[in-house]
Amino acid sequence: MTEHQDGRAGISADLVRRLLADQFPQWAELPITPVKIDGWDNRTYRLGDELTARLPTHAAYEAAVPKEHHWLPILAPHLPAAIPEAVAKGEPGQGYPHQWAIRRWIDGSTASTETISDLDGFARDVAAFILALQQCDATAGPLAGAHSFYRGAPVSHYHSETVEALASLKDRINADLAREVWEAALCSSWDRPPVWFHGDIAHGNLLVQDGRLSAVIDFGTSGVGDPACDLVIAYNFFSGSSRETFRDAVQQDADTWARARGWTLWKALITEDLPVVERVLDDHVTRTH
């Protein structure tokens, strides 16, 4: 078992109860239940009906706790959908080595083709959120780096991983075209002042109520830098008219889209998500050939 897996396995409702008793006794008697849909970076437990406890599974994810605790309340008033509300920040204790967070529970269903009533409308809502986030004051914001897993930084950070994955998959994809996409991403850069990005605009972090976008969660990879990483959803969720609607509404230039294809390609290659690879390659041909 890896350290990462072991850290995850060591988090339990009993640990949350003990941490609460030590640090936030006012909530120690609330019912504690794991959320039905949980991520890998953190384990999340509902505390009664209104709160959650969110515990990083590994030291690599701990930097998100103080970052989100500071910046979420600053960003929230400027955004068109709800984002997590920071309630309290916990400290290491009871054998658990990381800072952790208490947040307000947000109702909603995870975005999917079943929960969204109008994909084109949803695409416009997501684009509006991204644009509003980019317009937030980035002064003193956390510059892209290790805390954001280099989302918002130059795509070149993942060059060696991408080259290795291209070599491994060369018989299963159009490797020459994929290299062309990657080189185009490397040749482009964000040459303007840094702006806010979320870093993981994915369907699992988008909540829906009454068929519309209602909240965006998990700002652990957020920061200020290049917003190209926030366009990845064009390829791994939207398709057809909704992709074109998103592209039009989000108002990004061709170079930013070239880097977005690079970001998407990197992740799709290392996870061997070949359908997404094909979508990126097709889009590259359509836009550039």
* SS3 at position 153: coil
The backbone torsions φ and ψ at residue 115, rounded to the nearest 5 degrees and listed phi first, read: -95, -10
* Cβ atoms of 224 and 144 closer than 8 Å: yes
Range of the domain at 145: 109-288
Q: Identify whether residues 146 and 248 lie together within a single domain.
A: yes
> Which residues share a beta bridge with 195?
225
What pLDDT is attached to residue 10? 85
What pLDDT is attached to residue 1? 29
CA 263/CA 66 separation, integer angstroms: 26
Q: Identify whether residues 180 and 280 lie together within a single domain.
A: yes
CA 186/CA 97 separation, integer angstroms: 38
CATH assignment of the domain containing 204: 3.90.1200.10
CATH assignment of the domain containing 95: 3.30.200.20
Q: Identify whether residues 54 and 138 lie together within a single domain.
A: no
Q: Identify whether residues 82 and 172 lie together within a single domain.
A: no
Below-50 pLDDT ranges, the chain = 1-7
Q: Which of 61, 83, 104 is the last residue of a domain?
A: 104
Tokens for 57, please give them.
Answer: 């599974």
Q: Identify whether residues 243 and 283 lie together within a single domain.
A: yes
Task: Transcribe 54-69 into DSSP letters.
Answer: EEESSGGGTTHHHHHH
pTM: 0.94
Q: Which of 70, 104, 138 is the last residue of a domain?
A: 104
CA 179/CA 145 separation, integer angstroms: 25
What pLDDT is attached to residue 9? 55
Task: Transcribe 237-252 into DSSP letters.
Answer: T--HHHHHHHHHHHT-
Whose structure tokens read 């041909």? 285
Q: Identify whether residues 130 and 273 lie together within a single domain.
A: yes
Q: Identify whether residues 163 and 69 lie together within a single domain.
A: no
Residue 138: how many CB atoms within 10 A of its CB?
Answer: 18
What pLDDT is attached to residue 6? 39
What pLDDT is attached to residue 8? 59
Q: Identify whether residues 96 and 129 lie together within a single domain.
A: no
